Homo-oligomer: A and B are copies of this chain.
Amino acid sequence: MPEPQLSFANDYSCGATPEILERLARTNDVQYPGYGSDDVCASAKERIRRACGAPGADVWFLVGGTQTNQTVIDAITPQYAGVVAAASGHVNVHEAGAIEATGHKVLTLPHHDGRIDAAELDSYCATFYADANYEHMVFPGSVYVSQATEYGTLYTRAELEAIADVAHRHGMPLFVDGARLGYALTAQGNDLTLEDLARIADVFTIGGTKVGALFGEAVVFTNHGGYSRTPKHFLTLVKRHGALLAKGWLLGVQFDTLFDDGLYLRIAAHANRAADRIRAALTERGYELTFDAPTNQVFVTLDDATRARLESQVAMGYMEPTADGRTVMRFCTSWSTTDEQVERLIALL
């Protein structure tokens, strides 16, 4: 079965940005020590610390997103506790129970276009501790948010600070899943820098898989005290989750390249601009954008006929049904999206 020629199905449908492939080729014969103990990883970590303005941060490289969420959440959430997340959060919906597999409940808050609200988080915790039977319940033990969210929307700096404040007041570290962080950092209207994030979050990830790498997620423990510190023997915890890559330098090479001279942000900005063009074209043609989302994911609510017509010519991502019988579909852009592809898509619309 031949794939449709044109695809905006997701942001992980091509290999890596050419700079990464070239460097992998160039270093292919070099002998590195295993498991990330090599110089390239050290360099990549240092570049990330500098980009974060966080010289004390501790950086680790894992392979995939679900794996990373599972490993980090299991490490930072007490045994008697769960992780608080938006009902729409990746950890709640699309990780096949990977969080529960480590014994932790996902405690859900309502989402607002993918975002949780600091006041609702506060109220959740207040209600919890006011319950006479709270010791018989799952404690809120850590907070998970995604930036950009699963619906492509963003937290402002103020919103994220408010969430971190509430989290810390209730004894919880804040974990920001940055599987699509690049797209957030370079979106129109975004006011949250990487330095802000490293100051606000206790731990966050910088996604490579969906932002130009073959694979790889950088985990940054910001280590600014309080809830922000590397879990003890984290390497062993990573290994225990089957998440420690033997040829660890492959991750180092990729992140060292992405964080050399701003490549990571350039790639993301490129994809965002393509998405902006698609959004403009959709709006112009009267399509309904499902979310007001400025990043590389374009969500559109389609009736069955339009969906069928489009799907015959372009691969899209399926999201969810709506209450009124339509479907939320997604166009995704990435490092590999070309102007020509965008123009073909727009012509189809």
Contact = CB atoms under 8 A, between A and B. Distances in A.
B97 A104 contact: yes
A258 to B, nearest CB: 15
A94 interface: yes
Residue of A13, A78, A132 ringed by the most chain B CB atoms within 10 A: A13
A283 interface: no
Interface residues of A, number: 88
A218 to B, nearest CB: 16
B65 A246 contact: yes
Interface in A227-266: 232-233, 235-237, 239-247, 250
Interface in A40-74: 63-71, 74
Contacts of A70: 242
Contact of A241 (B10, B15, B25, B242): B242
Contacts of A336: 29, 31
22 contacts: A3-B31, A3-B33, A3-B39, A9-B34, A14-B30, A15-B24, A31-B315, A63-B63, A64-B244, A66-B242, A68-B242, A80-B96, A80-B240, A81-B97, A93-B137, A94-B136, A96-B240, A97-B103, A97-B240, A98-B240, A100-B138, A215-B246
Interface in A68-121: 68-71, 74-75, 78-82, 93-98, 100-106
A15 B68 CA distance: 23
Contacts of A25: 21, 25
Interface string A14-41: 1110100100110111111111001100
Number of copies: 4
A80 B14 contact: no
Contact of A246 (B33, B64, B101, B137): B64
Contact of A239 (B30, B33, B98, B321): B98
Nearest to A250: B214
Interface of A: 1, 3, 7, 9-10, 12-16, 18, 21, 24-25, 27-35, 38-39, 63-71, 74-75, 78-82, 93-98, 100-106, 127, 130-133, 135-139, 209-210, 214-215, 232-233, 235-237, 239-247, 250, 315, 318, 320-321, 336
A180 to B, nearest CB: 12
Contact of A7 (B14, B31, B82, B139): B31
A245 B21 contact: no
A101 B70 CA distance: 13
Contacts of A103: 97, 100-103
Given A35-B136, A64-B245, A100-B103, 15 more contacts: A9-B33, A13-B247, A15-B27, A15-B29, A29-B336, A64-B246, A79-B237, A97-B240, A98-B239, A100-B138, A101-B241, A132-B318, A209-B246, A209-B247, A215-B245
